[in-house]
Amino acid sequence: MAEQIEHLKTLYSENQEREKKKLEIIADPIRKPFHILSFKGINAIFFLHKAFIERDFQASKAFLYKVAMTNSYYHEKLNGEIFNVLDTFTYPLLSDSSSLVDRYLHYEKTEHPDSFSTYFGKAVQSVLKDDSQGLQANIDGLMKWSEKGWAKQYYGIVTTLEGFLAEDKSVIEKGLHEIAALHAKQEQPAVVKDYFNLEATALAKLAWRKGLEVGVNNRLVPHELLPVRELSVYQGYEFFKEIER
């Protein structure tokens, strides 16, 4: 773990410089669309450093907010697909920003309606909307995909969501353990995977948001990130103002 920590510290310093360069680049409107998504990776590193090196989990949510808002900008301003990556809907949940969570509730357009990642994103929306019919439909879609390929390693998502459908805390916890157990075989984001499991932690957070205070005795689901405590202010990039509501 010491080696991973030193690596993260190095990445943190490198991304401080990278952020400055990218902000200069996007001042050019022509180049801007090709560099916006860089801010996702940059802020993911900033989040990891704040949470796991500085151990300030509360302040780290500011960077999760920036990751999620970058995704929103890409979708709303640049017409990019938002459902095509499995971890997309994890960041607004983990940020604890109620306005950001609400923003993600309204995303509907997708180029790939029949995909594991789309069913996952829409299942999260269904839970937040208390839409049991929609949740069941998305569970069915996830179940179909989890029988083959890379999605087999995420079958615990189905168990977890069935727990939400039944409002059964124990089933949710069982599913979270199933997700975390296959962490090493999943396509978790680079560097992030060394510290925690995005989907398991976000779904645990979703349970807390719904009043089900689940507990998972696993370092891949950090308890410090689970209580819902919104920041008083979320600072964003200047370009976020282009999609202000």
In terms of pTM, does the model score above 0.85? yes
Distance CA 51, CA 239 (A): 25
Instruction: Convert the pLDDT of each residue in 80-104 to its tens digit.
Output: 999 999 999 999 999 999 999 999 9
Instruction: Convert the pLDDT of each residue in 48-66 to its tens digit.
Output: 999 999 999 999 999 999 9
245 pLDDT more than 80 = no
142 pLDDT more than 90 = yes
Instruction: Convert the pLDDT of each residue in 154-166 to its tens digit.
Output: 999 999 999 999 9
